[in-house]
Structure 1
Amino acid sequence: MKRKFMMLSLLISGPQQPSNDIDVYLAPLIEDLQTLWDVGVEAYDAYKKEFFNLPAVLLWTINDFPAYGNLAGCTVKGYYACPYCGEDMPKCRLKHSKKNAYIGHRRWLPHDHPFRTQKQPFNNKHEREPPPNPLNSEAIFRKVESIENKWGKVKDKKRKKRGEKKDDDDDRVWWKKKSIFFKLEYWKYLLIRHQLDVMHIEKNICESIYGTLLNIPGKTKDGIKSRWDLKVLKIRQKLAPDVKENNRTFLPPACYTLTKEEKKRFCEVLKSIKVPVGYSSNIQNLVLMKDLKLQGLKSHDCHVLMQQLLPTALRSILPDHVKYAIIRLCFFFNSLCATVVDVTKLDQMEEDIALTLCLLEKCFPPSFFDIMIHLTIHLVNEVRLCGPVYLRWMYPFERNMKGLKAYVRNRNNPEGCIAESYIAEEALEFCAEYVSNMRTIGLPPGHVETSSIDKPLPGGKFEHVDHSLIHQAHLYVLQNTEEVQPFIRFVNV
């Protein structure tokens, strides 16, 4: 999806985000969408050379998870953070970490799976509950139909002065408002209304993994509070903090704890990786060997690290069961983001991700399992209903917003700069359609540099290969080619 085919239909002024009040700004857009559905617009068919009426429908929205809650009207944190599970969401309140941990993914396993009867590795309970049934669109509409929207942000102090109390109704806790999108006649009949963004989910999970393994301050999910939570939950008592006589606390090493030598080996692998131009950022510049940590990774860097580089860097470190669980998660994202999706394998992917999350629960502390980890259980269902991920993730839109931010010349009036530059670009793009031999705006040229063709990667070396080694390589390729297998005869000597 290129910039040429994107339309800037709404520009909300800052400096603060509107959060739940975004419906006020979306009202003109909803009116246009209603017109496109009820009346349609007159369009021209260049093939038949005639005009026709073209109706249009809004399929879904795509945004990060906080904006998901603002548009859908549901909460994205707390006890009902998952928009699919709702009140039946598996959760656990961590006393010392003071946050919710979304564990309990054994519910998605088959009823006869041995993990359901294991107590100590999980939460000291047998799991007999089935997976929660997500509400359909019409059921959600019935829940929010009676909610009266109140615009504006009211602080708790003002609410106390007015004598108002917070509404503790369960429906109002899960659903904060009735989304303005329900004004569209067809909205309550759609199977998927708001998409979970795989880009941000993958980025947050990747940061949690390497932040915990390298024990990076601010990104690690392990610490003294998470260890005290293990003691409260009565699981993995060997990892409980040990308070010494001098009031110093010792944290026993866990199965995912890396020594300094292992951290150095992990960083050296990433430091030595060289990738082609345009594949990703220069990973070498993101590795700090002095502090043994990763810094400055963008969303696409986490995408490449999660799917390609992390399994390679973990081969020589970590115990087998921890390494196996993390690599399974990497392979899941690799299969999920494939350009071609085999529909017959989606059920198996759902079983695999449920088992992978259970394996991670046996290795990592409950504080590791935030809402991003839990949302992976619902990604396969969205692929089943909406198609491949690469057609509906945030990468092209984030890239387009980078171009819009570049329009800002006067920081006192950024909205005006963006609006003026965007209108000028649309005018130039319209004129470019009627000028021959002119590059179209919004369609970048290819990134292949003809000057660098037939040249090795930086640091490459030429080596002379003798004929015997060439014959061995040729024989190896033939023996491992599927088309040649029927013609190979094995002779027992």
Structure 2
Amino acid sequence: MELWSTGIHIYDAYKKEYFQLWAMLFCTINDFPAYGNLSAYSMKGKKACPICEENTHSIWLTNCKKLAFMGHRRELAKNHPYCKNSDLFDGTIEDRKLPPPLDEETTLSKAANINVVLGKKGFGPPKGIWKKKSIFWKLPYWKHLRVRHCLDVMHIEKNVCESLIGLLLNIPGKTKDGIKVRRDMELMNIKLELQPEDIDGRSTKFLPPACYTMLKVEKTKFCQCLHGIKVPSANIRKLVSMKDLKLLGMKSHDCHVLMTQMIPIAIRGILPNRIRHTITKLCLFFNIIHSKVIDPDVLDEYQRDIILTLCKLEMYFPPSFFDVMVHLVSHIVGEIKACGPVFLRYMYPFERYMGILKGYVRNLNRPEGSIVEGYASEEVIEFCTNYMDEFKSVWIPQSRHEGRLSGQGTLGCKSGNSNVADYQEVHFNVLQHTTSIDLYIQEHMSLLRQQNRKRVQNGWQNNIKKLFQNG
């Protein structure tokens, strides 16, 4: 509040003068539990989506004893054929309209009159979706912000990846398919061909294979593909267990590489086309939103594509797959419109720095003091190494190419003869990729179009290289 109202007096070392510095809190970025603590919104229950709030659509699965957040068909067009098809979705016909987003005054009025007295003698938080009035509402500009707490795309991507891998490989404890969800689908009167069947003389049930069910041979091919991939960005090979046919110990960046690059490659030729194409579109969406340059004009198209992809996933996947993290995927594009590209709000640097701070802890009874002592010791050592040439800096790894880019090569000198045609070919390719020559190429192309209107386009394009070089 001080930085916003009065500012602070700061010295500018470059201009050698003092100036008044003002600042504002643009937004916060946390994982989902911390999101609830800061925003004072309840992240559990039927209204767990902090963006939809009261308009959150959820279904209680009786046998699974969990909530499924489906209902993405309401964001489609009213005359879309998916809206009238109930058997392939949640058993209902979708005739609702997408409610408008809540304005700032409505959100503030819901949390303004909540008075929570904490402690043993207090009454505790209320039973509504708002637990208390957040302290951030004291900021005079907070109610005017469109996005106050950003979604953590890193953890959303990680949870979606783990759910997808667990369902495809049928990993025990992580799969979203089983006898319980099959019974829930029977109660919902959907996907009747997947109902559990009795086996003569046995107490167990037979689960008919679904369209996403993979045989042992297909699981082996899937794991062998991931096990054989070697890329510098991530070591996926160490995550694959060929014995158990599952993935273990996936970190956030591992899930990012899997979702954006490797899963579409691994499922080729294994799953049916409709399932494979839908999963590939989901992976393509995560790949697109991580781009550093995004055209604002195509964001509406991205939103329509991801909603259609989620609706197709509802047709194929069991309801237990659609937890709140899968639902939050539908709100990522809206936050990109308001806050810019996703890479500006990554949690990766903060998570990595937290790992460095945790490494300073030597006394578990005094973690804060250990962090302060370790940080101060590193600062002192780093300052001393600036005056010692023979010592290396702390936490700065040495490049793998150090000492290999200078001096004589190890393979010796290789010489060769090139003719004039090869030289002209290389010279023309360099000219084509030069910005300053692009205007001359466009002018030459327009001149050829005027002179060769009756000829086929490929005819004069084949001679453009010779004409351009001679001209």
Aligned to 2:79: 112
Cα 1:435–1:273 shift into 2, 3 Å: same
* 1:102-141 paired onto structure 2 within 5 Å: 102-141=69-108
Q: Give 1:447 deviation, angstroms.
A: 4.9
Letter in 1 for 2:369: G
Correspondence for 1:326? 279
Give the aligned residue type for 1:316: G
Is the 2:116–2:125 contact (alpha carbons within 8 Å) kept by the matching residues of 1?
no
Question: Which structure 2 residues correspond to residues 313-392 of structure 1 after superposition, within 5 A?
Answer: 313-392=266-345
SS of aligned partner of 1:124: coil
Aligned position for 1:271? 227
The code of the aligned residue for 2:72 comes to: H
In structure 2, distance between residues paired with 1:227 and 1:210: 19
Structure 1: 5+ residue stretches without partners? 1-33, 455-470
Query: Max radius of gyration: which structure?
Result: 2
Q: Using the alignment, how far apart are the partners of 2:36 and 2:136 within structure 1?
A: 13
Q: What is the aligned counterpart of 2:166 among 176, 190, 211?
A: 211
Residue type at the aligned position of 1:407: Y
Q: 1:433 to 1:42 in 2, by over 3 A?
A: farther
Q: Are 1:393 and 2:346 matched, yes or no?
A: yes
1:177 aligned partner: 132
Q: In 2, Cα distance between the equivalents of 1:264 and 1:292?
A: 7
State the one-letter code of the partner of 1:182: W
Equivalent of 1:254 in 210, 229, 236: 210
Superposition deviation, residue 111 in structure 1: 2.0
**Equivalent in 134, 147, 159 of residue 192 of structure 1:** 147
- Letter of the 1:489 counterpart: G
**Superposition deviation, residue 114 in structure 1:** 1.7
Mapping 1:233-252, distance limit 5 Å? 233-245=188-200, 246-252=202-208
The answer to whether structure 1 residue 294 and structure 2 residue 294 are counterparts is: no
Q: What is the DSSP-based 3-state SS (H/G/I as helix, E as strand, rest coil) of the residue aligned with 1:127? A: coil
User: Per-residue deviation at 1:83?
Assistant: 0.5
1:48 pairs, out of 9, 15, 36, with 15
Unaligned 5+ segments in structure 2 are 407-421, 446-456, 462-471
CA distance in 2, matches of 1:237, 1:438: 73
Query: Could you tell me which residue of structure 2 aligns to residue 9 of structure 1?
Result: none
- Structure 2 CA distance for aligned equivalents of residues 418 and 71 of structure 1: 24
From the superposition, tell whether residues 142 and 424 of structure 1 become closer, same or farther in structure 2 (CA, over 3 Å): farther
State the alpha-carbon separation in 2 of the partners of residues 84 and 296 from structure 1: 31
Rounded Cα–Cα distance in structure 2 between residues aligned with 1:36 and 1:165: 33
TM-superposed CA distance for 1:134, in Å, is: 2.6
Asked whether the equivalents of residues 238 and 252 of structure 1 are also in contact (C-alpha less than 8 Å), the reply is yes
Calculate the TM-score normalised by the size of structure 1.
Answer: 0.79
> Offset of 1:446 from its aligned partner?
7.6
Partner of 1:31: none
Matched, 1:78 2:45: yes
Offset at residue 218 of structure 1 (A):
1.5
CA displacement at 1:36 relative to structure 2: 1.6
Amino acid at match of 2:459: R
Say whether 1:489 aligns with 2:445: no
Residue pair 1:147, 1:177 contacting (<8 A) in 2 also: yes
Q: Deviations over 1:19-78 (max 9, x none)?
A: xxxxxxxxxxxxxxx222222111223443321110111111111001101110011121
Distance 1:261 1:129 in 2: 44
Q: Deviations over 1:64-120 (max 9, x none)?
A: 001101110011121000001111111111110011100110011122222112121
Give the structure 2 partner of residue 463 of structure 1.
Answer: none
Higher relative contact order (CA 8 A, sep 6+): 1
Q: Number of matched residues?
A: 422
Change (3 A) 1:49 1:167: closer
Q: C-alpha separation between the residues in 2 aligned to 1:68 and 1:195? A: 8
User: Any conservation in 2 of the 1:212–1:222 contact (CA below 8 Å)?
Assistant: yes
> Does the CA-based 8 Å contact 1:181-1:187 persist in structure 2?
yes
Instruction: Report the CA distance between 1:370 and its aligned residue.
Output: 0.1
Say if 1:212 and 1:221, in contact at 8 Å, map to a contact too.
yes
CA distance in 2, matches of 1:490, 1:224: 66
Indicate the residue corresponding to 2:26 in structure 1.
59
Shift of residue 185, structure 1, vs aligned partner: 1.9
* Kept in 2: contact 1:432–1:439 (CA 8 A): no
How far 1:448 sits from its partner (Å)? 5.2
SS at match of 2:46: helix
Alignment partners' CA distance in 1, 2:101 and 2:191: 32
Which residues of 2 match residues 447-486 of structure 1 at below 5 A? 447=399, 449-450=401-402
Partners in 1 of 2:125 and 2:360 — Cα distance? Answer: 43
Alignment CA distance shift 1:447-1:395 (3 Å):
farther
Q: Distance in 1 between matches of 2:28 and 2:392?
A: 27
Please point out which of 42, 53, 56 is paired with 1:89: 56
Q: Distance in 2 between matches of 1:350 and 1:188?
A: 26
Match of 1:28 in 2: none
Alignment partners' CA distance in 1, 2:198 and 2:55:
38
Q: Percent identity?
A: 49
Letter in 1 for 2:184: D
> Residue in 1 aligned with 2:259?
306
Q: Is the 8 A contact 1:85 1:133 kept in 2?
A: no
1:464 matched residue in structure 2: none
1:409 paired to 2:362: yes
Q: Which runs of 4+ in 1 moved over 6 A?
A: 432-443, 481-487
The 3 A distance-change label for structure 1 pair 272 and 166 is closer
Letter in 1 for 2:313: L
Tell me, in whole angstroms, the C-alpha distance in 2 between the residues paired with 1:443 and 1:112.
Answer: 59
Q: Distance in 1 between matches of 2:246 and 2:157?
A: 19
**2:230 is the alignment partner of 1:230:** no
More displaced, 379-388 or 408-417? 408-417
Equivalent position SS for 1:51: strand
Structure 1's 368 and 438: CA in aligned 2 closer, same or farther, altered over 3 A?
farther
CA distance in 2, matches of 1:109, 1:187: 32
Structure 2 counterpart of 1:195, one-letter code: C
Indicate the residue corresponding to 2:451 in structure 1: none
Deviates more, 1:94-103 or 1:177-186: 177-186
Task: Tell me the secondary structure at the aligned position of residue 29 of structure 2.
Answer: strand
